[in-house]
Amino acid sequence: MFIKKLLIPLATCLLIACQTSSTGRRQIAFMPDDEINKMGTQAFEELKTKQVISQNTRYNNFVNCIANALVQQVGGSWEVVVFEDNSLNAFALPGNKIGVHSGLVQMVDNQAQLAAVIGHEIGHVLERHSNERISQETIVKQGLNVVGAIAAPQSAMGQLGISALGLGAEYGILLPYSRTHESEADIIGMDLMAKAGFDPRESINLWEKMSSASQGAASPEFMSTHPAHATRIQDLNKHLLKAMQYYQQSANNRPNCHK
């Protein structure tokens, strides 16, 4: 009876929460979007109190110029902040928040390369990846509860079995889904930057530059939440022809952002 009580809500979530991403991938995202947006907004506000916000006028103008061109393609009001941080990073959070680290601004060669990163991060928000990630983790935890109820959790074998399943869940479900999210955001970001008038070929140049910057320090792909650089570049090359069509259509709407 206990197992049945756990399985019924889990199955119900799977049935009612299936949706389709813009790339045609089936998703499970059953958390209320309003709550996810509140979480993103709260996290962003906390970041602004803990990290130094850049006062570099050139960096701020450069980043905002690029971000504004991108968000015009998706609509809504977005907050953009440049943080003083030497790491090569940018992010977007639910609630339409965009953060860019000054180290990334310094590293990119041109507006299109930074547009590739910001477009990628916006893609995560558009495809509701945070909602999907939280939903996936909830399902996995429910599944582990079921196993714990079936097995003898106090025995050494039971503990080993649950631990092994936990490791399997991490590498078999959660991380692959995360790599799927990253690959999907790459495609969404490439299309978005092209529609906004940024040369999508620069996204490939960017990741080649990122690959050189990593100097082989990346984790093996099967243990990473991001695709290997070579995989990412290969996938972007496959999609480039379609993105170039969007870019050609934006010939009369080309941004002119300089740092």
Q: In the numeric block, which tokens belong to residue 180?
A: 């799927």
Residue from 45, 79, 121, 221 carrying the catalytic annotation: 121
**Domain-wise residue ranges, the chain:** 23-249
Task: Note down pLDDT in tens along the chain; length 259 residues.
Answer: 434 444 444 454 444 455 666 666 666 666 667 777 887 888 899 889 999 999 999 999 999 999 999 999 999 999 999 999 999 899 988 889 999 999 999 999 999 999 999 999 999 888 877 777 776 666 656 554 544 544 455 555 455 444 444 445 444 444 444 777 788 888 999 999 999 999 999 999 998 888 777 665 554 444 445 667 677 888 899 999 999 999 999 999 999 999 8
Helices (H) and strands (E) in the chain, counts: 10, 5
* 121 in active site: yes
Distances in Å between the Cα of 71 and the Cα atoms of 112, 118, 164, 254 are: 14, 10, 43, 14
Whole-model pTM over 0.85: no
pLDDT tens string 79-94 = 999 999 999 899 988 8
